[in-house]
Structure 1
Amino acid sequence: MTTLLPTGFQAAALAAGIKPSGKTDLTAVVSSSPCVWAFAGTRSAAAAACVGRARQLYDAGLPLRAVLVNSGVANAATGSGGAADNIEMGELLAGSLDTTPESVLTASTGIIGHRLPMEKVRAGVPRLAGEVQGSVDLHAQAIMTTDTRPKIAERTLSGGQRLVGVAKGSGMIHPDMATMFSFVYSDAAIDQSALRAAFPAIVARTFNAVTVDGDTSTNDMTAVLCNAASGAADTAEFLQALEEVMRDLAREIARDGEGATTLLTVKVTGAGTEADALLAARTCAASPLLKSAVHGRDPNWGRVIMALGRSGARLNLDNLRVSVQGVPVFHEGPLKYDAGQVSKAMNTDEVVFEIDLAVGSEKGEAWGCDLSAEYVRINADYTT
């Protein structure tokens, strides 16, 4: 089913030849009017050129008119030449749209250490402006790398304003400030200061609460753009809808983890702080041992205790509670339960662990996936 972008946004995608597969690999979303925006990018010390440029644009506070993305080549660890290529990307689209390069957000994803094939980029980018249309579907497909399916989420506000988000990510997922890629577009009018003030906490509860393999990408980036085409929105309602869209996308990234067969959800309550709850949840979701147990449908709650103990979150082991698929398995020591029945209950597309740290009233949730032999195969053959 086709998903339309909010009013005032259009998208285009094409195969520029960046990917050897011949699949779509260059895409842009363009707004008919300037957008207020919020952004988060990886804190990796090896951040790609696109992340560094995005930070500069963000700090300048100027509005955006477009997002330009290539997939297949990350343009990370490519030195000053790669940085110049990234700047030229933005200049090429700006020239086609008759806008400034500073109004174009650029993003790249793919293999680290490869520079962009600029002759293909120079040929492809000018074509994008002539092929824009109202559907977000091709945009969502063009940003994919090892993803098995596009990731799209949307919400409609009470005033009719819409939010439509896309994301990509399947491996190298353990975000530190953002996810592999996610862009949310809205036609709501929203105060930029309020949006930027709320965005870090929303990112913490959504994209920074997802993990596939414990590896943080050099290119992690997320942004939300609002063009005001459908009028003012209630700030609280907008921020709630934004968090719901980003949460849906985060869960889809975890569900589509490389080689994954099962979504792993970890719900933590009874924490002293929200930060502790999120830390405990993501540590469990990232544990290779717990992920392997989920793949084998093994209710080995000892791996939960192990992960909690090393997480750094404060807990009360004497009163700690752990449940698997709704079945209590630990409280004041091991509980009696039918391991065979719990194992059968784990044979589904989502396995849920519920944990009460027994030290406070804060809560948090994280999402991951099981660890399969297919994950190793995908990454053993990634460039060869």
Structure 2
Amino acid sequence: MTASGLKFPQGFRAAALAAGIKPSGRTDLSCVVSDAPCVWAFAGTRSTTAAACVTRNREVYAQGGPVRALVVNAGNANAATGQQGARDNAAIAQALGRVLNVDAQAVLTASTGIIGHLLPMDRVLGGLERLPGALGPDALPFASAIMTTDTRPKTAHATLSTGARIVGTAKGSGMIHPDMATMFAFALSDAQVDQAVLRAAFPGIVNRTFNAVTVDGDTSTNDMALVLANGQAGEVDPAEFLTALERVLRDLARQIAADGEGATKLLTVQVTGARSEAEALAAARTCCVSPLLKSAVHGNDPNWGRVIMAVGRSGAAVAIERLTVAVQGIPVFAGKPLPYDAAQVSASMNAPEVVFAVNLGVGNAEGEAWGCDLSAEYVRINADYTT
């Protein structure tokens, strides 16, 4: 199913419109509402300069109650905006709650865009009044409205054996090196699941998916990931649900990496032979964030020494005499340099996805991370971001 035909699970409706937050005039205010209370799990940035939306959502999360709606604005992060920013964020939740007849404490908020600017609250509040009239089951308008420098909307979905569904949407292209989740990722399901089980499993799922993504080494002030389940499709097997949820979030994570600012290729690093999953993920993500390796990938340069360098500084244990590296399935190092056809490897790297396979030679744990190549276009985008 393409994003254009994707519907949210039963009991969920969404709306999107242009409230005038973005100078471009594109859609920039959206919401999702559930007909029934949702159990939920949340992960927010560990940045010490977290935005008002992350701080408030974390407080609501600690209270443990159900949620009914999520409101998102794009074009303005409402971060580093002081007490006024916090008041504006709370006012958005209250306003949407009022127009939807939902308790404000059951409304979550999310903001993305430029840091350090107060929201144009007259436009936001005016847009919120119009959102209920635009509610419908289609996922694409919502997925498009949450974008900033993304070049395309990001969606993924799964259907369980009972017929229950999970539909995920995400945004993210730059300022991506998460320490919890990534940019925005919202997964909605009509499955009936236990909140305690969901919350216990979610940190591990996030760590293996969104925490394994990097574009440029910068962690946003507004990163968050959410999963909401309203139970409208009935009970499901918890293990099947969590497996499907991780599959959906992994798909979204790869889409974010592939759509990194200025990216022309998806960079995948698969690490095996690690002492622990945490060390495998650290080694893989360090490779993906290395500007040297990312530049080599952009130029189709099979410079495997940059993998050795990145792994060595990652903090993961390595036995270099047993360390192996392969590029696009072609072995280039196994405790010592291997003979290979550089032109052949270079040609294999001229592809939408470039895969490095690394065995650290010290254990049985594994992990995978995703990034993208580094192009001159990345510099252009960020040099002109506010001007």
Same-fold status (TM-score > 0.5): yes
The yes-or-no answer on 1:19 pairing with 2:18 is no
Q: Which of these residues, 190, 195, 202, is aligned with residue 192 of structure 1?
A: 195
Q: In structure 2, how many angstroms separate the alpha carbons of the residues matched to 1:122 and 1:366?
A: 40
Counterpart of 1:67 in 2: which secondary structure? strand
Q: In structure 2, how many angstroms separate the alpha carbons of the residues matched to 1:211 and 1:331?
A: 27
Q: Which of these residues, 134, 139, 147, is aligned with residue 136 of structure 1?
A: 139
Matches within 5 A, 1:39-54: 39-54=42-57
Correspondence for 1:269: 272
Q: What's the CA shift for 1:130?
A: 1.7
Correspondence for 1:64: 67
Q: What's the CA shift for 1:131?
A: 1.3
Q: In structure 2, how many angstroms separate the alpha carbons of the residues matched to 1:308 and 1:253?
A: 23
Q: Name the amino acid aligned to 2:76.
A: V
Q: Which runs of 4+ in 1 moved over 2 A?
A: none
Q: Name the amino acid aligned to 1:321.
A: T
Q: In structure 1, how many angstroms separate the alpha carbons of the residues matched to 2:303 and 2:350?
A: 14
Correspondence for 1:112: 115
Q: Which of these residues, 329, 337, 341, is aligned with residue 340 of structure 2?
A: 337
Correspondence for 1:245: 248
Correspondence for 1:308: 311
Q: Which of these residues, 174, 179, 184, is aligned with residue 182 of structure 2?
A: 179
User: Alignment length, in residue pairs?
Assistant: 384
Matches within 5 A, 1:346-361: 346-361=349-364
Correspondence for 2:263: 260
The yes-or-no answer on 1:168 pairing with 2:171 is yes
Q: What's the CA shift for 1:129?
A: 1.3
Q: Name the amino acid aligned to 2:322.
A: N
Q: In structure 2, how many angstroms separate the alpha carbons of the residues matched to 1:73 and 1:225?
A: 24
Q: In structure 2, how many angstroms separate the alpha carbons of the residues matched to 1:22 and 1:189?
A: 39
Q: Name the amino acid aligned to 1:100.
A: D
Counterpart of 1:134 in 2: which secondary structure? coil
Q: In structure 2, how many angstroms separate the alpha carbons of the residues matched to 1:138 and 1:190?
A: 27
Segments of structure 2 that go 5 or more residues without pairing to the other structure are none
Q: In structure 1, how many angstroms separate the alpha carbons of the residues matched to 2:248 and 2:335?
A: 38
1:280-300 per-position Cα deviation (integer Å, ceiling 9, x unaligned): 000000100000000000000
1:295-334 per-position Cα deviation (integer Å, ceiling 9, x unaligned): 0000000000000010000110111000000000001210
Correspondence for 2:77: 74
1:77-131 per-position Cα deviation (integer Å, ceiling 9, x unaligned): 0000000000000000000111111100000000000111000011001211121
Q: Name the amino acid aligned to 1:254.
A: A
Choose 189-198 or 123-132, whichever is displaced more. 123-132
The yes-or-no answer on 1:7 pairing with 2:47 is no
Q: Name the amino acid aligned to 2:22.
A: K
Q: Name the amino acid aligned to 1:367.
A: W
Q: In structure 2, how many angstroms separate the alpha carbons of the residues matched to 1:200 and 1:295?
A: 32
Correspondence for 1:28: 31
Counterpart of 2:5 in 1: which secondary structure? coil
Q: What's the CA shift for 1:381?
A: 0.3
Q: In structure 2, how many angstroms separate the alpha carbons of the residues matched to 1:90 and 1:308?
A: 44
Correspondence for 2:225: 222
Q: Which of these residues, 35, 40, 59, is aligned with residue 37 of structure 1?
A: 40
Correspondence for 2:209: 206
Matches within 5 A, 1:307-326: 307-326=310-329
1:150-186 per-position Cα deviation (integer Å, ceiling 9, x unaligned): 0000000000000000000000000010100000000
